[in-house]
Structure 1
Amino acid sequence: MEGTVLKYVSNLLLLLFFISCGTKTKEYAEDVYPFSKFPQVKEINGEVIELDSVLLRYPFRIHVKGDKVIVMDLHGLDYYGHLFHYPDFRYLSSFGKRGDSPKDMLSMENTRFGKHEVWTLDANKNELTRFGFSASCDSLLRDEAVTLDGDLLRSLDFAIYNDTTFIIPDYLGEKRLCWVHRNGRLINKTGEIPSANKEALQDARPALAQAWRSFLDYNPNNGVLAAVTQLGEAVEVYNLKDTTHIVRIGEHGEPEFQVSGGYGIPTGIMGFSDVQVTDSAIYTVFSGTTFKEIARSSGALPSGGKYIYVFTLKGEPLCKYILDHYISGIWVDEINKTIIATDVNNDQPIVKFRFG
């Protein structure tokens, strides 16, 4: 009997040893905080807004300002951007012509409303393009194209900081953010990738930066910049007025990847696909689908996420909305408690949700 007990204890200790070796605790910086639950969880249903005048192949982004709304079609046949009247979504015109000529675009990663203009980012041409409104305000005309600094590696998103400066993630991995003058010149790089992967931080920063690819939004009213990772479940909140920086890591952890040929190959989950900083909160679109599930589905899974996570301006979890549509991009109207979203899985891809 005594020998049996000793054998059991010995096997238990051996098992605990292997478990402890296989689950090393990640050491994050002081400004990184985990989160797993939201104080509120609500289900909301979408109302489809019918469009009858323009065909959208992959409507990835949506932005609203005043009585104008822009829908960005990631895989547009002839144009990448489409201008509508808001809130009735009456089609006005298209812009960002797809083609190989000097004034055409090879891609469009995002669009941003400026004060009196619209900026777009073309990663394939390494350009920011400014469009101005026509005299009738029903179309956008190409005013100038700015070539980005050669030290910027394939920029995939941007935010407008002020009249002269843009913010772009650093995909070289040297820092976290690039500050770029409106003439395309790199001004400065700041911050660090808040990863606990010390080996990648030391030996594979470009691959780590690719894995930490993030979508940005900045609100000049409160000075808050938010960055959410396309992989994993990481939310960064920068208050550019008081220079504070807070990172929230969800239960799925930071972006996971393997290095192959100098590139980061994703191995974890699809994370966030969009973010908006309003005057009072941060709204994000989240998926959570694993790459194993994606591989097993053979392309049958819907694109996008069916969750909207809401955080305070300090990154604290507020609410989790469960949707009846899979969506990619959002625009939030806090005054009227509505969210306009893009659903690439349906022929009528614009959906309105009411929340609150």
Structure 2
Amino acid sequence: MLPKDTALKSGVSFLFVCLLFLFSCNNSHKEYGKNVFSYSGFLQEKELRGEVIELDTALFRYPFRIRIKGDKAIVMDLHGSEHYGHLFQYPSFRYLSSFGRRGDSPTEMLSMENFRFHNHKVWTLDANKSELTRLDFSSSGDSLLREETVTLDEDILRPLDFAIYNDTTFVIPDYSGESRFLKVNCKGKLLEKIGAIPTANEKALQEARPALAQAWRSFLDYNPHNGVLAAVTQLGEVVEIYNLKDSTHVVRIGEHNEPEFKVSDGYGIPTGIMGFSDVQVTDSAIYTVFHGTSFKEIARQSGSIPDGGKYIYVFSLQGEPLCKYVLDHYIYGIWVDEATKTIMATDVNNDQPILKFCFGSV
């Protein structure tokens, strides 16, 4: 080898080492806790093709969530023009009725952030009214009737999601930034604060906690059978797993890192990527919908990118990455039935918004 070639190779190697050092200083050496782990790949990667479910009625403006219990399916419309919730027969998806009428009267809703099946009843969350409402099925089973409304304490800041812990307790994200979640009783009273935002952004923790909490907005789900509460960030790529039975807590951060934002007038303005949009904790795994699209790309494409995520990420109950499903549609919400290996999903881009995916073992 010529001396000039040797010098060139040495120079390139030195430059590579310098770049690697700079990258490590900027990214890898963030001060996270001992329970925080990174991930960059999955044990398996598979492609899934969706089957479009033909509906006999046009109802939706933005079909955001789907949940199924027995022979009933509910699809939530985030921007519903008249109603936020729609009840269907399952698996035929024959339309039955609508509920959660939009309006500002005491029996109407200003918004619906999420809904949950529990003990053959349905609970909904209205963030604009700061209310949780319980509905019961009619005697014929083809409609839902309003039974009870719980007003949350005034010091609980704008709740944007909820999970049902047990018959008397809810879990709600804490948007004050003082903790991660709140346990709230069936009367809307605060019982307990859980955890902290697992960020390495010490400056935001000290100076802009509410904006930090907004940037860390998360979707959550709880499974009472295994005691696992999972939360996934709408921005960035963070999965948190709380085992409420043994009090363990694991955080998994993907290659897109924690939520990125800037503070403007006290609000957190996103600057990174769209992350997760839904999560379900089954008896054996955690299923999530992931987007991964940067806000720069969304702005550059000016509405030409389909809305939603084309990936379903599956994690173990301890947070290990198991499987990455690559979809042929962009979706927002999911419902997983591990017994039949079926995933039902919502697609906000199409007039026929309900999809069915069949998957094998994870």
TM-score interval, smaller chain? over 0.9
Q: Higher mean Cα deviation, 183-192 or 308-317?
A: 183-192
The aligned amino acid for 1:263 is Y
> Is contact 2:84-2:101 (8 Å) kept?
yes
1:67 is aligned, of 66, 71, 92, to: 71
> What is the identity, as a one-letter code, of the residue corresponding to 2:193?
K
1:197 to 201, 219, 231: 201
> Does 1:90 find its partner at 2:94?
yes
2:22 — aligned with what?
19
- CA displacement at 1:19 relative to structure 2: 3.5
2:55 aligned residue? 51
Equivalent residue for 1:318?
Answer: 322
TM-score (norm 2): 0.93
* 2:150 is the counterpart of 1:138: no
Question: SS of 1:293's equivalent?
Answer: helix
Kept after mapping to 2: 8 A contact 1:54/1:91 = no
Partner residue in 2 for 1:251: 255
Q: CA separation in 2, counterparts of 1:69 and 1:17? A: 51
Q: How far apart, in 2, do the equivalents of 1:78 and 1:262 lie?
A: 33
RMSD of the alignment, in Å? 2.0
For 2:25 and 2:195, how far apart are their aligned partners in 1? 31
Tell me what 2:242 maps to: 238
Shift of 1:40: 0.2
- Listed as ranges, the gaps of 5+ residues in structure 1 are none
Cα separation, 1, equivalents of 2:89 and 2:342: 17
Q: Distance in 2 between matches of 1:17 and 1:92?
A: 59
- Report the Cα offset of residue 54 of structure 1: 3.9
Q: For residues 47 and 123 of structure 2, what CA distance do their matches in structure 1 show? A: 35
Asked if the contact 2:58–2:351 (Cα under 8 Å) also holds between the matched residues in 1, the reply is no
**Structure 1 residue 16 displacement after superposition:** 6.2
Output the CA distance in 2 between the equivalents of 1:153 and 1:302: 32
**Cα distance per residue 1:184-204 (max 9 Å; x no partner):** 111111101000111111111
Q: Deviations over 1:305-336 (max 9, x none)?
A: 00000000001000000000000000001010
Q: Deviations over 1:227-267 (max 9, x none)?
A: 00000000000111111000000000000111111111101
* Alignment equivalent of 1:348, drawn from 345, 348, 352: 352
Task: Provide Cα deviations, 1:48-70, integer angstroms capped at 9, x if missing partner.
Answer: 00111242111000011111111
SS at match of 2:274: coil
Find 2:271's aligned residue among 267, 271, 277.
267
Which residue among 148, 151, 157 is the counterpart of 2:155?
151
Which residue, 106, 110, 119 being the options, matches 1:115? 119
1 CA distance for matches of 2:24 and 2:131?
A: 47
Q: Which amino acid aligns with 1:136?
A: S
Q: Secondary structure at the match of 2:229?
A: strand
Is 2:261–2:270's contact at 8 Å kept on the other side of the alignment? yes
Partner amino acid, structure 2, of 1:213: R
Identity %: 73
Aligned AA for 1:109? E
Report the Cα distance in structure 1 between the residues aligned to 2:332 and 2:207, rounded to whole angstroms. Answer: 33
Segments of structure 2 that go 5 or more residues without pairing to the other structure are 1-6
Range with bigger deviation, 322-331 or 203-212: 203-212
The verdict on how the C-alpha distance between 1:186 and 1:325 changes in structure 2, with shifts beyond 3 A counting, is same
Indicate which of 35, 39, 62 corresponds to 1:35: 39
3-state SS of the aligned residue for 1:23?
Answer: helix
- Tell me the CA shift for residue 21 of structure 1: 9.7
Compared CA separation, residues 196 and 43, structure 1 to 2 (3 A):
same
TM normalised by structure 1 equals: 0.95
Matched, 1:301 2:305: yes
1:150 Cα deviation after fit? 0.8
Q: Which runs of 4+ in 1 moved over 6 A?
A: 15-18
Instruction: Report deviation, 1:17.
Output: 11
Residues 237 and 17 from structure 1, CA distance in 2 versus in 1: closer, same or farther, beyond 3 angstroms?
closer
Change (3 A) 1:22 1:58: same
Greater shift in the superposed pair: 265-274 or 200-209: 200-209
Aligned twin of 1:125: 129
Distance 1:40 1:138, change over 3 A: same
Shift of 1:20: 6.7
Deviations 1:257-304 (A, max 9, x none): 111111111010000000000010000000000000011011121111
